[in-house]
Amino acid sequence: MATDMRVDHSHPVKTDCIHCGLCLPVCPTYQELGHEADSPRGRIYLMQLVKQGQMKRSHAYVDHIHQCLGCRACESACPSGVEFSSMLDIARADIATHNPQTRTHKFLRKAILGFVFSRPSRLRWLFFGLCLYQGLGLQWLMRRSRLLKLLPAGLEEKEGLLPTVPLAVTRIKLGARFTAKAISRYRVALLTGCVMNEVFGAVHKATIDVLTENGCEVLVPKRQVCCGALQNHAGERALAQSLARANLRAFEAAGCEVVLTNSAGCGALLKDYGHLLADDRAHAGRAISFSAKVRDISEFLVEIGPLKPMRPLPAHVVYDDPCHLIHGQKISQAPREILRQIPGMKLIDLPGADECCGSAGVYNLTHWDMSQRLLKRKIEHIKTCRPEWVASGNPGCLMQIAYGLKAANLPIKAIHPIELVAQAYRGRPKVGKIVTVHGDRGAGIRGQGPGGTDDC
């Protein structure tokens, strides 16, 4: 039985803030900075002043709006149902339209978010370059020779955030079809996404393995593109809308009743296509129908469960909630439920599991200091639990947490929950066999115990 709440995005955006302030204690930027203007309530007030023409889009205004992580913790706390993230997306699109930017800045935004991310084949070239940089030893050379120190301020640290691109091609081919291993009960379509398919192909493979084990035929629609989340959060709404339209066409052609994603950030936007395309008469209704079919992989597995029995996978694991799953999609129990079904796995409660890790799309690149402050808090919590694995279902969170664990020199690895389930099916819970986001080998596996949840 699903224990999480379904999000309904088929209505107009709710903006009725009653200024109660209940969202302030859960807002990471307010917790860190203590300014009203860096709280949800303060940002809503500023957005409304700008909308009513009572305030200019000053640099200070832009900073307060961009300082927000878009984590949506304020939405979970709000008794008035204010849909803060939709307001934020609109405010950022308004800033991108009206605020003067340098030509270079504008060009780079359009080139990267529009040109590169709009076609999987173009993105492949970018990651191929990164693969060469790492595979030919240039990264090693740069780090050893201290050449990175010659880069502009801050870039040396940020280089450490780069994920390891697998040398072997692990991406899932668009247009592929995978038949169910048992009697076919469901036909589902999988979103491969942009970064996910280039860096986290192993997560897609694990997702397909688990689905086919559990009686699902999996289709990978050929003409699908990036979900548009990065573009939308950066204020490039028109780009995000055009990607959403392309996905509607691709997934409608596949004709499946369920659209699956294993990335929390993608899922939150796919479920919000109704809002994104609300002003597009030709696509608004289709977008609402499409969004109603979208499920996170954990949500879907709990709906069709229980899972087919697995082999024991003795390990101590903590689960960290991606913001776009717990706050964006109101899903917190489903990933824990599937992990608890793995025999021998000990699921330990992580303090502050629902707090943002500071990744937030490209926020860890644009707001390094704030991002690192939040990551430090997260790593401290993880340290107290002493797990072998930190499971989290979002690529950005996996890269951010993996970076924090490595920087703190901790022998703990970040992994997607579905990879743990797939390993339990393969029956190969060997040390070092699970490839993590930084391409390192797995941590030691502790003694076997019954499945369940423990406090730290």
Residues that bind ligand SF4 (CB under 6 A): 17-23, 27-29, 40-41, 43-44, 68-74, 77-78, 80, 82, 84
Calculate the CA 68 to chain-centre distance: 16
CB of 3 to ligand SF4, least distance (A): 24
CB nearer to ligand SF4: give 23 or 326: 23
CB nearer to ligand SF4: give 41 or 295: 41
The partner residues of 190 in beta bridges, in order of sequence, read: 260
CA 448 – CA 451 distance, rounded (Å): 9
CB nearer to ligand SF4: give 22 or 96: 22
Q: Scan for tokens 């079919």, then name that residue.
A: 293
CB of 39 to ligand SF4, least distance (A): 6
CB nearer to ligand SF4: give 80 or 384: 80
Please, are residues 372 and 241 in contact by the beta-carbon 8 Å criterion?
Answer: no
The token pair at 315 is 């390990």
Q: What is the 3-state secondary structure (H, E, C) of 333-359?
A: HHHHHHHHCCCCEEEECCCCCCCCCCC
CB of 270 to ligand SF4, least distance (A): 19
The token pair at 281 is 């008469």
The token pair at 90 is 């609109």
Q: Scan for tokens 């935004």, then name that residue.
A: 109
| Three-class DSSP category at 202 | helix
CB of 247 to ligand SF4, least distance (A): 24
CB nearer to ligand SF4: give 373 or 383: 373
The token pair at 158 is 């940020």
| Three-class DSSP category at 429 | coil
CB of 249 to ligand SF4, least distance (A): 31
For residue 452, the 8-state DSSP code is E
Q: Are strands 177-178 and 216-219 parallel, antiparallel or unpaired?
A: antiparallel
The partner residues of 186 in beta bridges, in order of sequence, read: 216
CB of 119 to ligand SF4, least distance (A): 30
CB of 24 to ligand SF4, least distance (A): 7
CB nearer to ligand SF4: give 72 or 171: 72
CB nearer to ligand SF4: give 78 or 402: 78
